[in-house]
Amino acid sequence: MNMKKYQFGFGESTMELSLPVERVLYDIKGTPAEGIVDVPSAVREALRNPVGALPLSQTVKAGDKVVITVGDITRAWIKHDQFLPTLLSELNEAGVTDDDISIVVTLGAHRPLTDAENITVCGEEVCHRIKVYQHDCKDKANLVQLGTTSNGVPIIVNRRVAEADKVILTSGIVYHLMAGFGGGRKAIMPGVSAYESIQGNHTFCLHKEIGKGLNVNSVSGKLTGNEMNEDMVQHAAALNPAFLLNAVFTPQGKFARFFAGHWHEAWLAGCKEVERIYGIAISQQADLTIASAGGFPRDINLYQGSKTIDNAYMATRPGGVAICFLECRDIKEPPDFSDWFKYSDKYDREIALRAGFTVPGFIALKFAYMAEAVSLIIVTKPENADFVRAAGLIPATSAEQAMQIAREKLGKDDFTITVMTEAATTVPLFK
């Protein structure tokens, strides 16, 4: 039997498995993409040659009050500080002064940023030039209603954003396990929306019937028929932002391409690029998927590791097994994720989630349903075993132990295998 060694990232080290080549269906990796060398030039090119819109210089004019939305500190990977100066320069050249520009941080329901975090996100130069405001989803005095979506969710957004002459959305586009893709319209919903609007929108990722858990349409890579995404689009359409600048990244986290123009059309073009780089078409799900997040920091805790688990799950047939290498040196972080495992019954977890929706709560509930369909084995540090069990998953402390458990679960030796060494970012598209 022809054997091949595969290395799986584990924290700052690796674990190794020798697997029979003839049983490996797929060795899933992202499509190589070159990182942009000259970021300012690439940004200017996108702004001057937009998708579905006039160039930025023809979209704004002198005297316009312009609001730029930026992500919060949890989105620092977008590296706003590297492209905001160029965006400001283009606005200045079009006649818009710094005094007429403000930045609103799209916090959704997150906490406000500190001054230091504002600098981390936007850059010191930008923070010295432009006023930065924090969105508060519960500050009713600074919220305004623009209507109601077709699903009955009130469209209530930040007043400063709603009353601006021109709104420019900035973000990064990645796969999103609920909304299909991140970026684009998410800067409005949940970014600058009211708490009640956010709660109303996010319930669309749950089944319409209480007790039936998850909406099957609320998954990575799906936009059409994804009620959560479609409701988000209606929120953004009610505001009708003037322009968008979103980035797509290489597997190494460098800028791959910038998309600018119409808030929806340009974003959809960016989603296609994400799918080209990170979406891997498969025609068969494996008996066993063996996956790694790619090491630290993507496997720092189980919450971050959920992306790896979800992608491995998508590559595995019902009744199969997925092994995920996740060191999880801070497994109990963040507390608002680990607290959900006090609900051992998935029904109780669902009811609590419907009463107060959070993304960590959704992921905790999704764990419960994934673990019913596929045996999820987590190779992690020995001290994490009890927490992994509490999450409804199966702990293992070595690759060999994980493989032994997998053989016992599968009940055969001729099982098919899919390997995913970059599973935090690569999404198997089974059709």
**245 CB-near residues (< 8 Å, 6+ apart):** 43, 46, 47, 83, 87, 168, 169, 170, 258, 259, 260
Domain boundary among 277, 300, 321: 277
**342 CB-near residues (< 8 Å, 6+ apart):** none
pTM: predicted TM-score of the whole model, two decimal places: 0.92
Cα–Cα distance for residue pair 309/18, rounded to 1 Å:
21
CATH no. for residue 340?
3.90.226.30
Alpha-carbon distances of 382 from 1, 322, 324, 367, rounded to whole Å: 32, 19, 15, 21
Q: Return left, alpha or beta for 49; rule: phi > 0 is left, psi -120 to 50 is alpha, else beta.
A: beta
What's the chain's Rg over C-alpha atoms?
22
Instruction: Quickly state the pLDDT bin for 315 (edges 50, 70, 90).
Output: very high
Q: What is the pLDDT of residue 116?
A: 95
Q: What is the pLDDT of residue 251?
A: 86
Both tokens of 67, joined, read 């609001």
3-state secondary structure of 151: coil
Q: What is the pLDDT of residue 126?
A: 97
By the 8 A CB rule, do 302 and 364 touch?
no
Asked if pLDDT for residue 392 goes beyond 90, the answer is: yes
Q: What is the pLDDT of residue 344?
A: 82
Asked if pLDDT for residue 243 goes beyond 80, the answer is: yes
Range of the domain at 357: 3-30+283-430
pLDDT tens profile 136-149: 999 999 999 999 99
Same domain, 336 and 418: yes
pLDDT tens profile 147-199: 999 999 999 999 999 999 999 999 999 999 999 999 999 999 999 999 999 99
Instruction: Quickly state the pLDDT bin for 1 (edges 50, 70, 90).
Output: confident
Both tokens of 65, joined, read 């009050």
Q: What is the pLDDT of residue 76?
A: 85
Same domain, 301 and 269: no
Average pLDDT, the chain: 95
Q: What is the pLDDT of residue 123?
A: 96
Alpha-carbon distances of 63 from 59, 69, 98, 160, 165, rounded to whole Å: 12, 19, 11, 16, 9
Domain boundary among 277, 292, 317: 277
By the 8 A CB rule, do 402 and 323 touch?
yes
Same domain, 88 and 204: yes
Same domain, 97 and 20: no
Same domain, 58 and 205: yes
How many domains does the chain contain in total? Answer: 2
Instruction: Quickly state the pLDDT bin for 353 (edges 50, 70, 90).
Output: very high
Q: Environment class of residue 217 by beta-carbon count within 10 Å: exposed (0-12), middle (13-18) or buried (19+)?
A: middle
Domain boundary among 277, 296, 322: 277
Q: What is the pLDDT of residue 293?
A: 94
Instruction: Quickly state the pLDDT bin for 266 (edges 50, 70, 90).
Output: very high
Enclosing H/E stretch for 215? none
Cα–Cα distance for residue pair 302/328, rounded to 1 Å:
6
DSSP annotation string for 373-405 = HSEEEEE--GGGHHHHHHTT-EEESSHHHHHHH
